[in-house]
Amino acid sequence: MSTLVKQASEHWRYVAPLLRKPANEDDDDELAEALDELLALVRDDENHPLASLASHMGDLIEAYDETRRPIPKGRGVDVLRYLMLEHELTEADLPEVGPPSLISEILRGQRQLDIHHIRALSDRFDVPSDVFF
């Protein structure tokens, strides 16, 4: 047995939960908490030995979220409402899109989302811009 396989087998029971796809909300919450701890350690250092583990954990959480809480198909304003509700945001929490009065007008249907708003929302929520069209 190679040294690498031997070390992996000795530590697997500690590492395996961090590499397992969440099966339910509790698993997802535990993985998210572990990722928060790991990100506090890794910070912005892409060369940190645990950076790839953090990236993989983030991918697992994102995949779970996409299957359990998919972004609905609908009008852009409906998607915006949904995302604001999911993230518990108010109009004031989206300064990158515009002032609260603008967001309020968009939500009431008095204004349309333009390309600048869509780009800002896409970046903010890390979703494809086409969900707002």
Per-residue model confidence as pLDDT tens digits over 4-61: 999 989 999 999 999 999 999 999 999 999 999 999 999 888 899 999 999 999 999 9
The pLDDT tens digits of the residues spanning 74-116 come to 789 999 999 999 999 999 999 999 999 999 999 999 999 999 9
pTM of the model: 0.55
Q: Is 120 helix (H, G, I), strand (E, B) or coil?
A: helix
CA dihedral 61, 93, 118, 46 (to 10 degrees): -40
Nearest to 93 by CA among 52, 130, 125: 125
What are the structural domains, with CATH classification, of the chain? 3-68 (no CATH), 76-132 (1.10.260.40)
**Type of residue found at 46:** E
- List % helix, strand, coil for the chain (3-state, nearest 5): 70, 0, 30
